[in-house]
Amino acid sequence: MRELANSADIKVLSFSPSKVLSGAETKDNLELKSRDRIVVLSAYGDRVGELAPYVAKLKRQATLGRLPKVVTARGTVRFPGEFPMVEGMSVGGLIEIAGGLLDSAYSQSAEISRIDLSNPNRAVSAIVLFSLNDGSVTKLEPSDYVEFRTIPDFRETQTISLEGEFVFPGVYAFDKSEMLSSVIQRAGGFTDEAFINGSIFLRESLRKREQKELDRLTKVLNDEISADRLKDVNSDIAVDDAQQVLQREAVAKLASAEAQGRLVIPLAEIVNYSTEDIFLKANDRLLIPKFSQEVTVIGEVQRPTSFL
């Protein structure tokens, strides 16, 4: 980042550290000037966050008829977001600064949304289609928005974990339209000791939803307790310490509760094809315990124990 002479504005230059360190003659070996700032981007960190202050400054430099020298990468790149535009920057340069393409990137075409200010009376938006194979020669302009597409029907490998009394327990990948009964068959079915009616089916998307609701309830209770406490103080009502302790304990228990994401399913009917099967989702888990003959009685009884 280089400050322009007699100005608070900045100019963005880029270079390859590996080429500079190689010792060979290269245009990347820039001559430094006073007040230059070198930003070496993290290979795995938040590049967009690291460059955000410079992006904001470039946006403030925009004037009437001159768009900010900022470009945006969206879609199938490793670090989607806004980036400073380097002089003569190509789509290939944007891909590099955005961390490269994901495996799901569609190489046959991508899309640039561009604002044309050549007509002082009207701004015109244009869509430019190009192939990623031509990325090194496709030049960018200020405020370009580049959308990198996804390969049609591409999806990451999704798995389900089968645990407990399966012939072949383990983690299984599944196809988009595969059902639960199909994966159970691939796992060899159940062992002779499987307690099917005691199965536990866990779904990650449900767990996240439940956890979000638990967090919301915890916040609501905390807010209500704080409001009641403030109300008692303002009205000179004696504060019930015992009640406050109970309230705090209740909130603490709720805050420590962890969502499970359990989905009750008629597993015996599903494997016997007597009811509708269920589609699988990423990170599903199915746990099958061993059949147990014992019945355990606990709680408010004289002698907690187990019986056959």
pLDDT of 232 > 80? The answer is no
What is the predicted pLDDT for the residue at 231? 67
State pLDDT tens for residues 123-140: 667 777 777 777 778 889
Rounded to an integer, what distance in angstroms lies between the CA atom of residue 132 and that of residue 147? 11
pLDDT confidence band for 121 (50 / 70 / 90) = low
195 three-class SS: coil
Q: What is the mean pLDDT of residues 6-31?
A: 80
What is the predicted pLDDT for the residue at 148? 92
90 three-class SS: strand
Pairwise pLDDT comparison (199 vs 308), residue with the higher score: 199
Q: Kindly state the tokens that stand for 34.
A: 């006073």
CATH 3.10.560.10 assigned to 155-203+268-308: yes
Q: What is the pTM of this model?
A: 0.61
- Do the beta carbons of residue 71 and residue 85 sit within 8 Å? yes
- Do the beta carbons of residue 2 and residue 69 sit within 8 Å? no
Rounded to an integer, what distance in angstroms lies between the CA atom of residue 306 and that of residue 308? 7
What is the predicted pLDDT for the residue at 302? 85
pLDDT confidence band for 180 (50 / 70 / 90) = very high
Which range is least confidently modeled, 1-15, 30-44, 170-184, 286-300? 1-15
H-type helices in 187-295, by residue range? Answer: 204-234, 241-256, 267-271
CA separation, residue 4 to residues 7, 34, 35, 50, 56 (Å): 5, 11, 10, 21, 16
Rounded to an integer, what distance in angstroms lies between the CA atom of residue 127 and that of residue 130? 10
Rounded to an integer, what distance in angstroms lies between the CA atom of residue 201 and that of residue 283? 11
The CATH class, in words, for 2-150 is alpha beta
- Do the beta carbons of residue 84 and residue 70 sit within 8 Å? yes
pLDDT confidence band for 30 (50 / 70 / 90) = confident
CA separation, residue 163 to residues 181, 188, 242 (Å): 15, 13, 45
pLDDT of 36 > 90? The answer is no
State pLDDT tens for residues 61-106: 888 778 899 999 999 999 999 999 988 898 989 999 999 999 888 8
Neighbours of 79 (CB within 10 A): 20
Q: Where along the chain do its domains lie?
A: 2-150, 155-203+268-308, 206-261
Q: What is the mean pLDDT of residues 177-189?
A: 93
Which residue type sits at 206? Answer: L
State pLDDT tens for residues 11-23: 888 888 888 888 7
Pairwise pLDDT comparison (247 vs 171), residue with the higher score: 171
Q: Which residue is it, tokens 């990325």?
A: 135
Q: What is the mean pLDDT of residues 235-258?
A: 74
Q: What is the mean pLDDT of residues 104-129?
A: 79
- Do the beta carbons of residue 116 and residue 123 sit within 8 Å? yes
Buried b / exposed e along 245-278 (16+ C-beta atoms within 10 A): eebeeebeeeeeeeeebeeebebeebbeeeeeeb
